[in-house]
Amino acid sequence: MERTREPVSAGTDHISPADPLPFGRRGIDISSLQDIRPAAEALRDMARDLSNFRVAVSANIASKLPVTDAQGNALAQSVFGWPSSKDQWWKKPLLALSSPLIFVCRYESEPFWANARAIHTRAPNPLLSQIDLSHFRESVNAESFIVVPVHLPFGQIGAISYSPIEPGREDLSREFALYADILEYHGRRFINGYSRVTSQRPWIARNCRLSKREVECLRWAALGKTDAEIATILGRSCATVRFHIHNAATKLEAVNRSQTVFKATQLGYLGSVAAISSTPAQPHG
């Protein structure tokens, strides 16, 4: 696994103690399925050496498929050391869709740490107050976690967590301060690589470019407005709104509005629609 490139003067060769990274000076590259297992082993060793952390990985929080090596072995048991009798927290039916940590990964793109009492992000995030931690202990299989959400292209969200192997460590604020950056770096590299070699890339229309008007109409559609409503908002006719949305659909090679909105969202055309000028704040219930 030693890289053939020249040594890097700016990289991770600063790591103390005693350079515990067994995979060189930067995140390990996963270029093929065969690279997965060695990369996972290196990641496991790094986390354990750094602070006796056990690693758990979800390449896609929307999927219950486990991360596996080239032979299909689940890395949770075969590399990361999760006991078979204690399933990964995202392997349980519905837990994949209900664990509070998963919710945080939807809302946050930076590392955070959590235990049964609270979720700690780098900066306050009011959305997190909505998250119900009352069933934390049943939802997860460690007492505390540092989690790195990884937002990938096409709306995919991955996550990697680091939790103490030994029992009783619930306060990770010091480890978070010391290690969040490095854990983020290596976790991102792993998930990026894993996702790249295992995913079929969604097919995207060739070199499409949506016009300003098309995007504008599509944004309102994505917010649930009907053609008539959009027409009123923009001071245009209903037919014109349809025209623009149809154009956008054609460019994105989508057959209907749902697919058009889906693809446009995946490509970041509609992201953070709160940024639309004169958009009213979203109503609160």
Q: Which residue's CB is nearer to a copy of itself, number 54 or number 188? A: 188
Q: Which residue's CB is nearer to DNA, number 5 or number 212? A: 212
Paired tokens of 137: 């202990």
Residue 157 belongs to what H/E stretch? strand 157-164
Rule CB under 8 A: which of 243-272 touch a copy of itself? 253-259, 261-262, 265-272
Kindly state the smallest distance separating residue 2's Cβ from a copy of itself, in Å.
Answer: 15
Kindly state the smallest distance separating residue 213's Cβ from DNA, in Å.
Answer: 3
CB-CB contact of 203 with 30 (8 Å): no
Q: Which residue's CB is nearer to DNA, number 29 or number 87? A: 87
| Binding string, residues 151-190; x marks residues near a copy of itself by CB under 8 A | xxxxxxx-------------------xxx-xx--x-----
Residue 20 belongs to what H/E stretch? none
**Residue 127 interaction partner, one of DNA, a copy of itself, none, beta carbon < 5-8 Å per kind:** a copy of itself
Q: Using CB under 7 A as the criterion, which residues of the chain lie in contact with DNA when the complex forms?
A: 93-95, 98, 135, 138, 209, 211-214, 221, 226-228, 234, 236-237, 239-240, 242-246, 249, 255-258, 260
**Interacting residues of 135 by C-beta distance below 8 A, sequence separation 6+:** 100
**Residue 14 interaction partner, one of a copy of itself, DNA, none, beta carbon < 5-8 Å per kind:** a copy of itself
**Residue 246 interaction partner, one of a copy of itself, DNA, none, beta carbon < 5-8 Å per kind:** DNA
Sign of CA dihedral 154, 155, 156, 161: positive
β-strand pairing of 157-164 with 119-121: unpaired
- How would you label 180-215 residue by residue, b for 16+ Cβ within 10 Å and e otherwise? bebbbebbbbbbbbbbeebeeeeeeeeeeebeebbe
When asked if residue 224 is in the footprint of a copy of itself (CB under 8 A), the reply is yes
When asked if residue 65 is in the footprint of a copy of itself (CB under 8 A), the reply is yes
Distance CA 260, CA 226 (A): 15
